[in-house]
Structure 1
Amino acid sequence: MRRPGGWWRRKDTPEKVETYTRWSFHFFALSEIAGIGLSTYGQVGPRLATALSLMVVTHAVVCMVTASRALDWVRGRRAQPVRELWTLVTVTAVLGVPAVAVAEHGPGGADVDAAALGVFVGIHGFGLGVMTLCVPHRRRRVTGLVCGFAAGAGIVSYLVGMEWLAALIVACVLLAAGGFLSFTAVLSVWLLNVVYTLDEAKETRARLAVAEERLRFGRDLHDVMGRNLAVIALKSELAVQLSRRGRPEAVEQMIEVQRIAQESQREVRDVVRGYREAALEVELAGARGVLSAAGIAAEVRDETAGLPAEVQSALGWVVREATTNVLRHGDAKRVAVQVLMAEGHVVLTVENDGVAEAAGPSAGAQAPAPATGGSGLAGLRERLSAVGGTLEAGAAGKGLFRLRAEVPLPSPARDGLEVAS
């Protein structure tokens, strides 16, 4: 059974920011209802207060729908909500005129005027904030929308019967309120886009790292094989020509081709072996740098002196795989890596806080990558088993995940550590 709030923990950072932004605009609509609509019951009679509140509620619902569609458009999930924009403009204008008319021609009293004008300014102010979401966020367009709507509201107020000075004050108040809400809306969308851009850059950095490693391997392989293959081709052609002429030197040339081919095989194995090996100290330093660059607090404590090469290689792969999965799959804020040696064995632990509790033991920061070519938890277990090591992975507390690798030290290495101590 899923715990309450599990849906939130399963979201990554951009999705959380988008949910927060979306509900912030819904909260604006609820604030419009509570702060403007319901407050009229303390100012005017119940009949007029109910009428004004219904106007506010209708406008708030339209604002919520329009804001939701506008955010989908901002994220590229749907077309620009032009129909919703014009619907909001129409509803705002249609509901605003009766409100200012009530203030001028309705029941007398300062409370009635204050309540009706509050509804008029509130509807137009909140409406402007949501309208801003539906247009391209360029300074001139947003400024023109806010100024045009404020001027139009002042003109309508004057035409309904309000004195020109009062209409000017209403226009100025609406300019300030609408400008503030519009600025808030634009800033919220900008922050949302920045978060998504940073997340995409994080994924791009990981893909570029993989691509760079492939290019390096390709260059090394080309350097090894390119020259040898060219020599093999030339000597093979020479051997063919000599053989056609019945020259005994053809056999010597083919022997030379065989020797170069065997040497090429050995060099390719050396390149592949170097590509597959991972030095523990290098991987620890690389993990610290990559995690810090990704904005993740990395704490690395290591004791690597005197470890055999095969043990360092196996543990280096654990560090490399764990770091890669933290960047690709997790939402960690802190990663702790520790290497300790005691009682004839070495223990490597990688702990991070980027796992949702409902995700299970193989998800989050340590979710296995495709289990091919030695990747993923299965591949790490195979590498560790080759040196007699074991691997444990699982939850280590609320929101924590721990990867623990233990490798016994060979006798010579153990003796060397005892002498060194």
Structure 2
Amino acid sequence: MKGLRGVIGRVRGWRRGWHERTKLQRIDLYTRGTLAVLPWVFLASWGLLPLLPVLGEGPVPAGLAVAFFAVNTALCVLSNRHLGAAFAHHRGAETFPVRRLRLPAALLALLTGLVVALAATADLKDAGLALLVLDVPLAFAIPYVLLVPVRTYLVHSAVYAAVLVALLAAVGVPAGLLFGAVLSMLVAILLVLSSVRPSAWSMSAMWQAEEARDMQARLAVAEERLRFGRDMHDVLGRNLSVIALKSELAVELAQRGNPAAVDQMVEVQRIARASQQEVRDVVRGYREADLPTELMGARGVLQAAGISVTVEGADGP
């Protein structure tokens, strides 16, 4: 019972966290989640189904098949772990440390050796070898395509494909299967490039637009504060100068015993009260907004959200 309550609590927490996110954050999470699922889908299909018949061929092929699946699983885990940082690197938000690619690269090399060993020792069907070759680079390539330029990715992928095909040829894989392996590598390279890179580009563009809107809002607030400061300076600056001069004059007249000092202080009091009223008027002007102003503000908010708005009336456009 306690376990069920804990599961329900976690589900409610996930749901609450989802609703607390902005629309852009939800899209970003959905995009990264979809890309994170891809290597596991490929692992459960292309990386597993061809291995099932191999398990009954003997201890060596079966051991190689189990090792292949285990290494592939570890590579998928690292792919998911590095995907968020790769997205941030692609956006320019942070730099992805090159040293974090050492372990995935080592696992990819090991996985390549295992698929070559399987091709040499196991009785893989034509489609089975093609599917394994198709699955081998995917988990590594999904985050890697976000870390380097497209040209660099294509060059590195071509070099890797050439090395893999050469190794398969060295263990005696027939020419027909080698041609299928080349096609599989081409499909894998283009699949990652056409699915991951556009998704990351779209998210980067949306985040940049969001950051630009935030910056525009902050600049608008800063400009409004500056305008308010200028208005306050215009209102109080002149009156404070007059108050200072009349106060000095009243002091001099009072020192001489001149009754006109009282008149000067009365004038100072009048100017001070007038200044208070002018300050209230300035503040009221910032706090109060008429209907056309409110409509213009609402239209700006809706247009920023991509909603077309038309305001009809004598005071609206």
Higher helix share: 2
CA separation in 1, counterparts of 2:155 and 2:128?
A: 28
Q: Which amino acid aligns with 2:121?
A: G
Q: 1:91 to 1:43 in 2, by over 3 A?
A: same
Distance verdict in 2 for CA 1:98–1:55, change over 3 Å? closer
CA contact 2:236–2:275 (8 Å) conserved in 1: yes
Distance in 2, matches of 1:168 and 1:234, equals: 97
Q: How many residues align?
A: 299
Larger proportion of strand: 1
From 229, 235, 240, the counterpart of 1:218: 229
Q: Aligned equivalents of 1:171 and 1:216: distance in 2?
A: 66
1:295 is the counterpart of 2:310:
no
The 8 Å contact of residues 132 and 186 in structure 1, kept in 2 or not, is answered as: yes
Residue 45 of structure 2 corresponds to residue 32 of structure 1: no
Per-residue deviation at 1:265? Answer: 1.4
TM-score between the two structures when normalised by the length of structure 2: 0.76
Q: Does 1:195 align with 2:206?
A: yes
Correspondence for 1:94:
110
Consecutive unaligned residues in structure 1, runs of 5 or more: 305-421
Letter in 2 for 1:96: T
Taking a change above 3 Å as real, the CA distance of residues 115 and 163 of structure 1, as seen in their structure-2 partners, is closer
With over 3 angstroms needed to count, the CA separation of the structure-2 counterparts of 1:57 and 1:26, relative to structure 1, is: farther
Cα deviations by residue, 1:327-379 (Å, 9 ceiling, x for unpaired): xxxxxxxxxxxxxxxxxxxxxxxxxxxxxxxxxxxxxxxxxxxxxxxxxxxxx
Residue aligning to 1:265: 276
Partner of 1:80, secondary structure, is coil
Structure 2 gap ranges (5+) = 1-7
Q: How do residues 10-409 of structure 1 correspond to structure 2 at under 5 angstroms?
A: 10-40=20-50, 46-47=56-57, 48=61, 51-52=64-65, 55-56=68-69, 58-72=71-85, 74-75=87-88, 80=96, 82-103=98-119, 105-107=120-122, 111-133=124-146, 135=147, 137-162=148-173, 170-171=181-182, 173-296=184-307
Is 1:37–1:53's contact at 8 Å kept on the other side of the alignment? no
> Do 1:36 and 1:119's aligned partners in 2 also have CA atoms closer than 8 Å?
yes
Task: Give yes or no for contact 2:302–2:308 (8 Å, CA) kept in 1.
Answer: yes
Which whole-Å CA distance do the structure 2 matches of 1:22 and 1:275 have between them? 44
**CA–CA distance in 2 between the matches of 1:66 and 1:273?**
58
Deviation at 1:232, TM superposition (A): 1.6
Give the match's secondary structure for 1:37.
coil
The 1:255–1:300 alpha-carbon spacing in structure 2 relative to 1, beyond 3 Å, is same
Identity of aligned residues (%): 36
> How far apart are residue 45 of structure 1 and its match?
5.9
Cα distance between partner residues in 1 of 2:126 and 2:261: 110
The one-letter amino acid paired with 1:25 is L
Superposition CA RMSD, Å = 3.7
Quick one: higher RCO (CA 8 Å, sep 6+), 1 or 2? Answer: 2
How has the CA–CA distance of structure 1 residues 220 and 19 changed in structure 2, closer, same or farther, with 3 Å as cutoff? same
Q: 1:295 to 1:60 in 2, by over 3 A?
A: farther
CA contact (8 A) 1:66 1:130 kept: yes
Give the alignment's TM-score, normalised by structure 1: 0.59
Whether contact under 8 Å (1:41, 1:50) holds in the other structure is no
